[in-house]
Amino acid sequence: MEFSKRLQQLPDQFFAALAGKVAAAIADGRDIINLGQGNPDQPTPAHIIASLQQAATDPQTHKYPPFRGIAELRQAAADFYKWEYDVDIDPDTEVAVLGGTKIGLVELPLALLNPGDYMLLPDPGYPDYLSGVALADVKFDTMPLTAERGFLPDYEALSDDVKKRAKLMYINYPNNPTGGVADQAFFEETVAFAKEHNVLIAHDFAYGAIGFDNQKPPSFLQAPGAKEVGIELYTLSKTYNMAGWRVGFAVGNAKMIEAINLIQDHLFCSIFPAIQQAAATALTAEQACVEELRATYECRRNVLITEARKIGWDVQAPKGSFFAWLPVPEGHTSESFTDLLFEKANVAVAAGHGFGEYGEGYIRVGLLVSEERLKEAIQRVEKLQLFSVSIK
C-alpha cells in the first residue's frame, strides 16, 4: 500500500521530530532543559476546570454537539471581542468554532482556494502553515520578516506578479517565532493592501494576550474595513493554558467564516460540549489569570535577556508571544548551533531554519520553563565559551 500523493507531499512535522529527540534524550537519563517547545507549562486556571467538571455531569453534554458549535461559545467569542477589542461580531454568522486554531489554518486553503492558486506566507513563520498548502495542492510565495523592519512584511517590496496572483495571505502578531508585534497602522496598511490586490487575510492571533512593556497587542479586526477582507483566529491554548483542550475560534468576514463552517460540516461534529462550555467560561469570566500569566512570561523574558547579555550574547528582547528569537554566534548556522547546545549543554532549542529561509541565523527559545531553569540554560551556554565579550 502507498500513501496518497497528497500525504506524500506533506512537509515533515518539524515539532514532532524535535519532541521525539528530546524525549529520547530524557529517556537516556539526560537532564535536558527544553526551550524548543511551544507547550504552555502552567496549569489551566481552576475556575475553567471547575466549569468543565460541572458541564460534564450534565447528560446533555454527552450527546452530539451542534455542527457549528454551541450557541453559548459563539456568543462568548462575540462578547469577548466586544469588551476586549471593541469589535462587533455576529455570533451566528461571524464565528466558527475550531478544534484548535491549527485546524482552521490548515482548512482555510482547502475551503477558499483551488489547486494551483497562490498563498502569501510569512518567512519565518509557523511551519504548519505549509500543511494546508500541501493538502490543498496550492502554491505559495513568501514575505521576508527581518529584524530591520521589526519583523513586519514590506508589501511594497513584493513583485507585481506576487501581488497579482496571491489570493490568501497569513499574518501572525505577536509573531511566532520572532516575538515581533504589529500596531494599528500596520493592520490598516494590510487592509488597504488586501483591497487593492483582492487578497483575503487570515490573522493568526494565537499570542494576542501576550504583549510586553505595557503594550497590548491590537486585533487585526480593529482596523477599519478589516472584516471586509479577512478573519482572525484566536486560540484558548495560550491565553488560558488550554493547549490540550483543543479549542479556539475564527471571527470576522462572514463568507470566509461560512467557508470554514461548511468544510467542517463534512469533517467534524464540533467539540465535546462540556469543553465548549468551559471555553465560554474562560472567555467571559474575570480575566485576572490572563494578566498573571502575561506577567509571568514577561519576567521570564527579562531574566533570559539579562542573563544572555551578561555572557556577551547580543540579543534583543521580544515584544510579545512567549518566544525569544536569538541570533546564533559567529561561525555557526542555526542547525550547527542547535546541535551544539543539545549535545554539549543539554539545552534544546528550535533551529531557526525550520521556520523558513529567513529563519537561518537564529534559534527560537520558549519562555516555558521557570526563571531558574532559564538562568541555568544560559549558564550552560556560557561554559561553551562562544562569546568573547561579557556585558556586566
Q: What is the dihedral of CA 6, 8, 12, 13, to 10 degrees?
A: 50
**Above 90 in pLDDT, residue 15?**
no
The region that residue 105 occupies, defined by phi over 0 for left and psi between -120 and 50 for alpha, beta otherwise, is alpha
pLDDT in tens, 226-250: 999 999 999 999 999 999 999 999 9
Note the CATH architecture for domain 46-284: 3-Layer(aba) Sandwich (3.40)
Confidence of residue 19 (pLDDT cuts 50, 70, 90): confident
What is the Cα 127 distance to its own chain's centre? 10
Per-residue pLDDT, 17 = 80
Q: Provide the residue ranges of all domains of the chain, joining segments of one domain with +.
A: 5-44+288-382, 46-284
For residue 391, pLDDT over 80 is answered with: no
What mean pLDDT comes out for the span 37-54?
96
pTM of this structure: 0.96
Q: Which residue has the higher pLDDT, 15 or 63?
A: 63
User: Over pLDDT 90: what percentage of the chain?
Assistant: 94
According to the model, what pLDDT value does residue 389 have?
60
* Region of poorest pLDDT, from 5-14, 142-151, 250-259, 323-332: 5-14
Report pLDDT digits (tens) over 287-307: 999 999 999 999 999 999 999
Task: Identify the residue whose cell numbers are 471581542.
Answer: 81
Could you report the per-residue pLDDT of 246-268, keeping only the tens digit for each?
Answer: 999 999 999 999 999 999 999 99
Q: Which fold has domain 5-44+288-382?
A: Aspartate Aminotransferase, domain 1 (3.90.1150)
- CA 255 to chain CA centroid, nearest Å: 23
How high is the pLDDT of residue 318? 98
Q: Is 50 exceeded by the pLDDT of residue 392?
A: no
Mean pLDDT, the chain, rounded, equals 96
**For 308-335, what is the mean pLDDT?**
96
- Residue with the bigger pLDDT between 15 and 278: it is 278
**pLDDT tens digits for 26-42?**
999 999 999 998 999 99
